[in-house]
Homo-oligomer: A and B are copies of this chain.
Amino acid sequence: MSAELFTHANDEAMRKRAEQVMPGGVYGHMAAHALPLGYPQFTLDGEGVRFRDLDGNEYIDFMCSWGPVVLGRKNPVVEAAVQRQLGLADTVNGAAPVMVELAELLVDTIPHADWAMLAKNGTDATTTCVTIARAATGRRKVLVARGAYHGSAPWCTPGPAGVTPEDRANLSYFDYNDITSLTAAADQAGTDLAAIVLLPGRHDAHRAQELVVPEFAQAARRLCDQHGAALILDDVRWGFRIDVQGSWEPIGVRPDLSAYSKAIANGYPLAAIAGRESLREAARSVYVTGSFWYSAVPMAAAVATITQLRDTDALTRIQVAGERLRDGLLRQAKAYGLDVAHTGPVQAPLLVFADDPAQEIAGRWTSEAVQRGVYLHPWHNWFLAAAHTDTEIDAALERTEEAFAAVARSR
């Protein structure tokens, strides 16, 4: 295969229009100007794990809209549920019955969950968990890992612009997977410790991912119990992609509160907070709401998504696809003499090149890949979906091989 590389005239024209009417063009995590050469900013349409940009280029997608797409775009069961609910009502007065059905499904599915609340953003969910923990304990201090992403509200956004010191006055920091560091931070917070917030694994951008060390998770659980604080699992990024019961269920550590969003409804806007019985009253006392927190269509999509994840082999297929991709990429890199590491879970991996602290080699490689129709990311973890069949993975690997070859040639 020696395809012509993709071109992007329409995409570039649309970027210019975007820059006129949005600050810096498309902003936030979807800003393509932060990415290497060859990334389209805009998506026209898509199906399964394929999408097309404005110039008609088609990609095999390994970002899945940065997580939300977990089964595949336009999953027929999800879309049927969406159309059914659209025919009834979406944003209602009060709530639709599907809100109760979804809360019941979450409580039935997630072992630590005795109740659930629904929101719109992952940031809503993490912020609400912290607020509930403070309401329950009457304390202020919250521990978070250095470099961990928990959302983009002033208390947690990675960008400092517009953030005041007071927004973070009650945060203390520790190093992920470092029990000594975590224990010291907990001891320092002392009787004012309200919560420890943890990602299910270290998936900070711009570095190798790390799976959680089970003893570290156990230590966090123990420290929370000792201090009477809440253990909050921020499962926004990995939740419903690795284990439908929660990303720490395989290691047997159960949080008091967990935050979900992204994959919960296969692309429809929704977030969830799940909690233990002991925190129900605190959750009831907290006032959080939103104009669209009761919209029924995303809830119907979530019921259809979670049910499929629970009752079909969808999660196994995601894992198998991730292993096939991992094995293929590692084999190819080795063949071209490139030293790489596959980091994080196979369902949401990141390939890291040796001696590449600024992700320049990674950027060159993903740039070559995306221009051949494989959409990967140089410094943020990828996302696999159930629609990544063997055929899709193999088609992607054909092109990543050319990308490795191009990187090897340039060195």
Which residues of B are found within 8 Å of A283, using beta-carbon distances?
23
Residue pair B140, A161 in contact (C-beta under 8 Å): no
- Count the copies: 2
Report the stretch among A100-108, A339-347, A385-393 that lies at the interface. Answer: A100-108
Chain B residues in 8 Å Cβ range of A91: 65, 68-69, 267-269
CA distance A123 to B292 in the complex (A): 11
Specify which chain B residues have a CB less than 8 angstroms from the CB of A43 in the assembled complex: 89, 92-96
Q: Cα distance A66–B131 when bound, in Å?
A: 25
Determine the interface band of chain A, counting residues with CB < 8 A from chain B. Answer: 35 or more
| Interface presence of A80 (CB below 8 A) | no
Q: Which of B44, B140, B163 contacts A88 (CB 8 A)?
A: B44
Task: Mark A127-171 against chain B: 1 for CB-CB distance below 8 A, else 0.
Answer: 100111111000010000000000011110111011110110110
Asked if residues B162 and A131 are in contact (CB atoms below 8 Å), the reply is yes
A-B CB proximity, top 10 nearest: A159-B287, A28-B289, A269-B292, A135-B162, A131-B162, A43-B92, A23-B283, A23-B284, A21-B103, A24-B284
A interface residues with partner B (beta carbon < 8 Å): 14, 17-18, 20-24, 26-30, 32, 39-46, 51, 54, 61, 63, 65-69, 73, 79, 82, 86-97, 99-100, 103-104, 106-107, 115-117, 120-124, 127, 130-135, 140, 152-155, 157-159, 161-164, 166-167, 169-170, 236, 261-262, 267-270, 275, 280-295, 298, 375
Can you sample 9 A-B contacts with CB below 8 Å? A21-B115, A30-B94, A46-B89, A68-B291, A93-B375, A122-B290, A134-B162, A262-B291, A267-B295
